[in-house]
Chain A
Amino acid sequence: MIKLFNYLDKKDVSRIVICIMFVIGSVWLELKMPDFMSKITRLVQTEGSKMSDILINGGYMLLCAFGSLAFTIFTGYFGAVVSSDFSMKLKKAIFDKVEDFSMEEVKKFETNSLITRTTNDVTQVEMLIGMGLHLLIKAPIMAVWAITKILGKNLTWSFITLIAIVILLSVIGIIMKIVVPRFKKVQKLTDKLNGITRENLTGIRVVRAFNAEDYEEKKFNVINDELTDTILFNQKKFALFMPVMYLVMNGVTLAIYLTGAYLINGALLTDKLNIFSDMVVFSSYSIQVIMSFLMLAVIFMILPRAQVSASRINEVLDTEIKIKDGNFDKKTKEIGTVEFKNVSFKYPDADEYVIEDISFKVGKGQTVAFIGSTGSGKSTLINLIPRFYDVTDGEVLVDGINVKEYKLESLMNKIGYVPQKAVMFNGTVNYNVSYGKSNKKISKDKINEAIKIAQAEDFVLKLDKKYEIAQGGSNISGGQKQRLSIARAIAKDPEIYLFDDSFSALDYKTDSILRRELKKYTKDSTSLIVAQRIGTVMNADNIIVLDKGKCVGMGTHMDLYKSCEVYRQIALSQLSKEELENA
């Protein structure tokens, strides 16, 4: 938690100092009020006091109240500024960090968890700071100050207050001790309940097809009952809290008054009035002391939750970024070549290689296709080129230079990457197609051409000119998304195209037209294609067959069909012998 406070800069620190001063001011004024209160009490009690005195003291008290209000408002203002600024900076830091993450780190955290860490967790910490600036500063100051005010005034009363604080804190402590672990359980059970409901909803057709409605409901009810019992248990314990608190507070006042009565009774006449006004003042201060301890208790209730959030944030911020930017950004001798030299890759903790000892070279204008069964490492291989992962052994060269030496920006400028799952951003079609920053500005004509080649023209034309694609492209279909995603790569005019199984959502007809058009347009560009369909790969200049991370065949369709067993099996599972041989 403390580590995160490094994100507070000098300006924030000075704001916090101002905050502290305002809090001290407001506490001072708040504690000054009982003094005026007692003065007023005295004046009212003693015969012959002047009305003007009461008015003056009343005015002072009101002034104190107003001053304290003003100070608290200022504190609130600075608190809001500090916590909002802090949250802004922290979010920015996390966002920047995540942007630099490679896929390996993203995989480690999971995208959803990263989103939660950047949003909810930061909000938790922000709330603590917002509240903490007020309470955390105020409570101790208040407690100490109020204690010094009453300290030494009367031993019996101090003792009564002490006992009350001990009782309250132990009640809170015991309740918390019992309840807090169950809070976590409630959270878990709620997640579980959500999970089961989501399960039932997403698998509704399966559930119904298997007549498993009762099965799901039974599962739901078990968790539902457990959740209800746990919440009920907690609430029953909490039901004790308020009555005990009121009882203790009222009890303290009563005890002070009762002992006060005896003290007054036994005192000399001269002292009686003093003891009486002391009693009134003491009882209000003792409530202040108790209140400030309660405030502290509240903070300690929020603290654990914020602590968890803070450590989750720190996990992200402390992650070392594996992919380091290079500094090569000059012109290269070769253009449009990709070469793998004995490349192997495995995840840090894994024993087995995902890709093992792969070597090949693609020349300018050539098309290389990768085929293999699920989990054979095709996607991973292609992901090594834009450095989504870095190789474990060997090297990947683009235009004759190791990818690790490139400045990431200039490396990316050479590449047109189309992912397996099309990614759409909130914005117009044009924005999506001309996304990002490349060496040259993408003209309007270029965008239209790209859309045309990607076979997206017919549906794009149907859209409103100002048509905005919703977040994640939820308002267009999967195939449409994929076509726009391809158009995005075309508009960039890259040296090297990377298609990571990018045609899977298209039907055969669109697929083949698109590829034909693309071929015409990208004559000079190098293409690397990952695919499952034989039809997609069979016309490539070079086909690399992968099996369990190893290259088991390389060559043209006919070569492989004859020589490579794995390839032939894949091919035959899709097309008939005649079709393959005639192709």
Chain B
Amino acid sequence: MPKENTRMPRDRRPGAGEKPKDFKKSMERLFKELSDFKRLILIACILAALGSILSIVAPNRLSNLTDEISKGLVVNTENITSITKEITDKVKEDNLKDKIVKILDVNIDEDVIKDIYTSNEINEEDKNLFKEILESHNFSSLNELPDSILSKILNTSYYDNIKITKEDKITLLKSSEKDLNIPESVQRIIFDDLTVDGIKISSKDQYEYLINLSSFSKDSKPEEIYKKIDEMPKSIQNVIKPKMNLNKIVGICIFLIILYLFSGLFSFLQAIIMANLSNGFANGLRKRISNKINKLPLKYFDKHLSGDILSRVTNDVDMIAQTMNQSLSSLVSSLTLFLGTLIMMMITNWIMALTAVGASLIGFFLMSLILKNSQKYFKQRQTELGNLNGHIEEIYSGLNVVKAYNGNEDADRKFDEYNLKVCESNKKSQFISGLMQPIMMFIGNLGYVCVCIVGALLTLNGNITFGVIVAFMIYVRLFTQPLSQIAQGLTSLQSAGAASERVFEFLDEKEMISEENTKALDKDKVKGDISFNHVSFTYDGNDKPTINDFSADIKAGQKIAIVGPTGAGKTTMVNLLMKFYEINSGDILIDGISTKNLTRENIHSLFTMVLQDTWLFDGTVKENVIFNREGVSDDIVHKVCEEVGVDHFIKTLPKGYDTVLKDNDSVSAGQRQLLTIARGMIESSPFLILDEATSNVDTRTEELTVKAMDKISKGKTSFIIAHRLSTIKNADLILVMDSGNIVEQGTHDELMEKNGFYANLYNSQFQK
């Protein structure tokens, strides 16, 4: 049965797959990671192979079925010849003559002869004839006698207890070879019962058969013969008619149904196992990636885009899962199918096998030619599409500038150009990917016809049965199908290899150094002294140190400001304080204890940090403010928000504190920042870091917020990074940074007096 096309069309464009850097290595790694699932994979593979083997066995059985059915088409020639011989033997001259003499039982007693001679009813001529016959003893010409004489010499008699009337005898005598007319009683004697294959053929039927047979000539067409056979008596028909072994047919059908059921069951089980396995594996991978994100040093994220990591979590893991789910088992079953079919074909008939393989090879040669050429179109399409989408993104996000500068025409021109290019490459790549399926179909048909023709040739020569052709019709399909699947499976295995390379590369990234010999500082007992001791720090890949031999003693409760132009390295100071980065040399001490001896977790718990990025997540206002802290009551949340000054705003939201925050909401940047400040103020810690925490808030609101924060941070050591110099004028220590160095430090007044970098920066606010 043609099995082609039974796969659902997959939304996978061939040729779009990318290649891993090292296929073998990536596969080795992938399977190493899969070792937990080894047993399951093995079972799935065995099931897949079994399923394939069953589907190879099936056509063989099916060809048996066809053979059995076609037996019902062929007349039983053996029986025909044997019956014909038996029946014709019965009417062979020698035995028949004696039999007929006996049947006729001619009575030529003196009385009868006398009676004939004396009879007035018989004319002289006839009498003379009779006399001649008597004298010559030539009884074969008895039939020339008239009825009048015959009725005298023939009497009703019994032969083998069969009554033969006078009339029957006369009829028998009169019948000639040309006009055979044997009375029934005589038939019973001549054609004694004949039993062929357990079927009794009556004398009448035998006689009829004989008559029918005589009407055949050598030139009779099969159709005519079949027609004659259909007219023959039932008993004869039963003997010579095509015989179908219905029991055997039903048996094969039942066997096949069981086979199909098992094959279905195997593939179902295999699919279930693979689904469980691949999803379990994907789930684990995602978990590991998510866990890994929090274990990597921050410097990793300086060099890697978040989009890149994101695509590893979703796209790459999906790719691996999908390949495992679909390609792995289909690769195994396809390979089994391919090899199995090849072997089965070779065993069944090697000439036909070569035909099938040859026909398929021609097709695949064609296909590989097309595939080779198609690659560049797919790549081209990808590039052009990237250009177009990039342009669309650019224009849409800069729409106000486009409008204000009358850039529409320029945008349109570029758009049309890109759009046309996409369209052109789209046409080509779509056309080529559309070629695959019809070519596959054609290969199937080509193989089919070749097998039919060669098969017919062989059948005509009597080398094979029709069933073999039917089997090969299926083998051809079975043979071409896995080839394309193997090709597809290998491509997706390659993509999976590339994907797993990326995933494992990420999972193998060096994690933050583990912390040993640690002490812990109690958050509630920390005084708040911090001292920097000849701290130097260089970002990876930088030549110049960002922080160079920096020393400072900060007493508990002091307010430290870090100022300087953008990119001066202000945030680096914070990063070092929070131990986001490891310092290269020197030491930072909190209450006299080196941060090297403190866990990151411990340090983080000592600091409250509010950043410039207004980081809010998908959740309610309340969830965002509470974040990961446990046991925070609603009252505290309300109180903090009131202090920060967002309480009023939150209350105007549709669901108040339970409003879900989403991107692009009516929540402005300033309000977002206030919410993050509120988050920071939920829990009090000995240290406070404000990294441009109020840059999005207008200056009036900022002042209010800072005041609120000051209230809370009273007595706390605080670090403030700010753009607006007014905010930090009253700081206890101002660190002035420029292009990676701390160029000045001191109080506002000290620095103004110095009339250096800081003073210059400060005065520039008032220049006209």
Contacts and interface: CB of A to CB of B under 8 A. Distances in A.
A and B from one complex: yes
A65 B457 contact: no
A273 interface: yes
B1 A287 contact: yes
B564 to A, nearest CB: 9
Given A111-B396, A569-B703, 16 more contacts: A51-B456, A58-B452, A65-B448, A80-B430, A85-B423, A200-B294, A208-B600, A210-B628, A217-B294, A243-B264, A423-B398, A425-B394, A436-B404, A437-B406, A437-B407, A575-B726
Contacts of A566: 700
Interface stretch (A36-44, A151-159, A306-314): A36-44
B768 interface: yes
A437 B407 CA distance: 6
A170 B639 CA distance: 60
Given A65-B445, A69-B439, A579-B766, A211 B604 contact: yes
Given A419-B401, A535-B766, A570-B699, A269 B242 contact: yes
Interface stretch (B92-100, B126-134, B189-197, B613-621): B613-621
Interface in B423-441: 423-424, 426-428, 430-431, 434-435, 437-439, 441
B670 interface: yes
A98 B403 CA distance: 11
Given A511-B764, A570-B699, A239 B405 contact: no
A197 B52 CA distance: 42
A485 B405 CA distance: 11
A110 B664 contact: yes
Nearest to A500: B400
Contacts of A33: 445
B264 A235 contact: no
19 contacts: A51-B457, A58-B452, A68-B445, A76-B435, A81-B427, A197-B313, A199-B618, A205-B575, A224-B287, A258-B253, A269-B241, A374-B669, A374-B701, A412-B404, A437-B409, A472-B393, A472-B397, A507-B566, A535-B766
Interface residues of A, number: 178
Interface stretch (A112-120, A329-337, A397-405, A447-455): A112-120
B69 A260 contact: yes
Interface string B290-320: 1101100010010000100110011000000
Contacts of B392: 95, 115, 118-119
B69 A224 contact: no
Contacts of A272: 72-73, 242
Contact of B430 (A84, A210, A435, A519): A84
A553 interface: no
Contacts of B395: 95, 99
Contact of B435 (A73, A232, A424): A73
A207 B66 CA distance: 71
Specify which of B11, B395, B764, B766 lies most central, judged by the most chain A CB atoms within 10 Å of its CB.
B766
Interface string A268-291: 111011001001000110010001
B145 interface: no
Interface stretch (B25-33, B106-114, B147-155, B413-421): B413-421
Given A208-B600, A246-B263, A535-B765, A265 B405 contact: no
Interface string A54-91: 11001001100110110011001101110111011001
Question: Closest 5 CB pairs between A and B?
Answer: A436-B405, A239-B271, A423-B398, A215-B628, A76-B434
A417 B401 contact: yes
A202 B452 contact: no
A80 B767 contact: no
Contact of B580 (A44, A101, A208): A208
Interface string A200-239: 1111111111111111110011001101100110011011
B390 interface: yes
A247 B264 contact: yes
B256 to A, nearest CB: 6
Nearest to A420: B400
A80 B427 contact: yes
Interface in A447-485: 471-472, 477-479, 485
Interface stretch (A6-14, A176-184, A249-257, A521-529): A249-257
A249 B268 contact: no
A423 B401 contact: yes
B146 interface: no
A77 B627 CA distance: 57
B394 A412 contact: no
Contact of B290 (A205, A220, A227): A220
A51 B615 CA distance: 82
Contacts of B290: 197, 200, 216-217, 220-221, 224
B283 A224 contact: yes
A544 interface: no
A201 B244 CA distance: 75
A232 B276 contact: yes
Contact of A91 (B397, B419, B448): B419
A265 B725 CA distance: 104
B670 A374 contact: yes
A76 B438 contact: yes
Contacts, number: 473
Contacts of A242: 6-7, 267, 271
A283 B391 CA distance: 54
B493 interface: no
B230 interface: yes
Interface in B698-748: 698-703, 723-726, 729
B582 to A, nearest CB: 14
A193 B600 contact: no
Specify which of B226, B404, B627 lies most central, judged by the most chain A CB atoms within 10 Å of its CB.
B404
A244 interface: yes
Nearest to B696: A374
A242 B66 CA distance: 26
A272 B227 CA distance: 12
Contacts of B399: 98-99, 101, 103, 106, 111
Contact of B700 (A246, A533, A570): A570
B766 A583 contact: yes
B268 A240 contact: yes
Contact of A261 (B69, B306, B407): B69
B427 A477 contact: no
Contact of A199 (B434, B617, B701): B617
Given A87-B423, A435-B407, A198 B613 contact: no
A512 B765 contact: yes
A103 B402 CA distance: 12
A58 B451 CA distance: 10
Given A110-B664, A258-B249, A438-B405, A516 B435 contact: no
A309 to B, nearest CB: 14
B637 interface: no
Contacts of B405: 412, 417, 435-438, 488, 492
A216 B294 contact: yes
Contacts of B68: 261
Interface string B443-466: 001101100110111011000001
A68 B442 CA distance: 8
B72 A265 contact: yes
Contact of A249 (B1, B298, B670, B765): B1
A357 interface: no
A47 B263 CA distance: 38
B627 A210 contact: yes
Given A77-B431, A84-B427, A203 B613 contact: yes
B325 A235 contact: yes
Interface in B600-651: 600-601, 604-605, 607, 609, 611, 613, 615, 617-618, 627-629
Nearest to B698: A373
Interface string B214-225: 000000001100
A573 B768 contact: no
B751 to A, nearest CB: 15
B46 interface: no
A575 B703 CA distance: 12
Contacts of B227: 270
